Each structure stands twice: as structure tokens, then as C-alpha cells.
Amino acid sequence: MIPSESPASVPPFIPAIVMTNMSESVSAEQALRIAGDDFDVHEFYPVPFPDDVPVAELEKISLSKILNGVRSECDRLFKTCTEIPQSEFFGTQTEGGALPEWLSDHHDTFKEAAECGNAMARAILSALEKPLQLPPGSLLKLHRLQDDSGDFTRILRYAGDPTNDPTRPEGFPPHKDAQTVAILFSWIGGLQIPDPKIPVEGFAVKEEDWRWVKPEPGYAVVNLGDAMEIYTNKLLRSCIHRVFKSPGLQRPHDRYSILFATRPKNDSLMKVLESPVIPPGDPTEEPITSLEWGHRIIAAVQSRARARGARDLDNI
């Protein structure tokens, strides 16, 4: 998570998911507004998060300090991303990626939000370049806003379940993010990760080993995606997670989330980056482009969903 006050010291979260503090600089102003620390967002918190469910503690990192190049905070970010114990959403596309007609009047708002999300992701990537001993700009040049990529900004609405209907799906199945960096703002519980103390093989996580990520005002949840695993040959890891019905008294309420996803530019090659600290990749492996890689990931997610009996893959 990335916080709104000076970062608190808490046990490391899980692989590459952190909470980031938003409120310490003008540079983070837009993110802070989304996180809800400078205007009234009580309507997003209709009831408190329950106290009787298992919760994962997330490392808290200051976005402001990262933006200002504070070395100790950048080192903490890198350390968190290496201490990983773990053991595509689909929507209706429009021609050329334009907003649907009923949202087109809000184009400028979405544009500003996308720019804000990219700036946050690039700040995180820049902070990771030095401990990875990469030449400056190695990651940044792959994630420029002006390049064609699979970047997206989404507002997600999950309908509440006031009757606890057993016929409704529990949520989105376990998966990793086919991205480089994912930044999530949410106000009601729904995100779950495996217990950091439990070893996990593949996507097999026992039901009792899932832990809730508790939303906190002024914070965003940041997750490194599969692209960082490829670039660093798994020195930095992506995290398994799932989306579930909200817990306790929050379940009847609609849940809204804002997701910023940053992906490598489409024509870049998905391969291990050269660095003294990154294990070398397989020289016989032929790299594919980011665009091809993304298509493969989506096909794999669809295949797993079909195996679970899902039919409406646009709304999985």
C-alpha cells in the first residue's frame, strides 16, 4: 500500500504487493484524490471492514519519498519486492479503444487518470532500476505513455449481494496480473492473497489459506505483475490473488474499484534484462513481443475459466 501519512512499519506483505502513501507531495495530488484523503468519500465506506476475518499485513511505502528519490524508501520498495513468500479482466471493446458513448463526455477525466496512473507506475519502476543495477531508464523506456501498449484504466463495479445468493459466483478466480505494475484503489473489501507464511504451488491455494486485503483510506494497493518476473528472471515476483465477495456487513453493498494497469509497449521483447544481479535467462529461448505475450496470457486465463465452468467470459 502507498500511504497518506508517514509510512508505518508493518511486516512485509506478499510478493510485490504493497500499500502506497499518497499524501506527502503535490506530485501525488491526483492519486490522493482518488484514494480519498482530501475529500469526503464516506459514501464509499457504507459500513466498516469486519474485524473477525483474517487480514494480510501489507508493507507501507511512501510514493512521495519515491518521487523525491529518497534512497532508503526505494531500497525498502526493492526489498519488499524480493521478499515474496508465496509459496485480464474482460470488457466490451469499442472501436479504436474509445470510451463508450455514455462515458465519452468524461474523456478528459479518464485521460488525466491514465496519466496519473502511468506516472505512479513509472516512479515505482524508476525506484527499482538502481537496486536491480540496470542502466537508468531501462524500465522507463518500455513504459512511456505515448507508446502503443496494453495500458488501461478501469472503474470496476461489483454488485452487492444483500441476500447472500448461493447461485451467484463468489468472484474472480486466482490469477496473476499480465502487467508490469497494477495500482488498485478500493474502499470495500474484495481482494484476497495467500497467507504469506504458506507455500503455494501454481494456483492451488487452500480455502483456509486466503487472507483479506483491508482497504485503508489514503492508500493504494500496488502489485508487480508477470512482466517484472520475466524482466528479472523471477528475482522480483508477481503475486497470486483473487477477487471475492466482500466480507461481513460489507457484502450487501456495491463495491467500486479503480485499477491502473501498466504494460510494456507492444513491440518490446519480453526477455530477461541484463544486470549483475539478475540471473541470466535461457539463451535458446526465443522472446516474443509484449503484444503476443499479452494475448497468450488472456487465452490462458480464458482456458482456466472455461475449465471452471465459466461461459460469459466478458464478465468473468
Condensed to tens digits (0 to 9), the pLDDT of residues 247-292 reads 999 999 999 999 999 999 999 999 999 999 999 999 889 999 999 9
Q: What is the pLDDT of residues 171-189, one digit of tens each?
A: 788 888 889 999 999 999 9
Q: Which of 89, 288, 53, 261 is nearest to 175 (CA)?
A: 89
* Domain 17-89+102-315 annotated CATH 2.60.120: yes
Q: Would residue 205 be called left, alpha or beta, if left means φ above 0 and alpha means ψ between -120 and 50 degrees?
A: beta
Question: 198: exposed, middle or buried (C-beta count within 10 Å: 0-12, 13-18, 19+)?
Answer: middle
Res. 7: pLDDT tops 90: no
Cα–Cα distance measured from residue 283 to residue 60, given in angstroms and rounded to the nearest whole number? 37
Percent of the chain scoring above 90 in pLDDT:
41
Res. 8: pLDDT tops 60: no
- Predicted confidence at residue 45, as pLDDT, reads 72
Whole-Å CA distances, 309 to 215, 235, 242 = 30, 34, 17
Query: CA torsion, points 187, 94, 266, 202, in degrees to nearest 10?
Result: 50
- Predicted confidence at residue 130, as pLDDT, reads 94
- Predicted confidence at residue 15, as pLDDT, reads 40
- Predicted confidence at residue 28, as pLDDT, reads 53
Residue 276 near residue 224, CB atoms below 8 Å:
no
Question: Where are the domains positioned within the chain?
Answer: 17-89+102-315
Q: For the chain, what is the mean pLDDT? A: 80
- Predicted confidence at residue 41, as pLDDT, reads 60
Q: What is the pLDDT of residues 126-177, one digit of tens each?
A: 999 999 999 999 999 999 999 999 998 888 888 899 888 887 777 788 888 8
Res. 197: pLDDT tops 60: yes
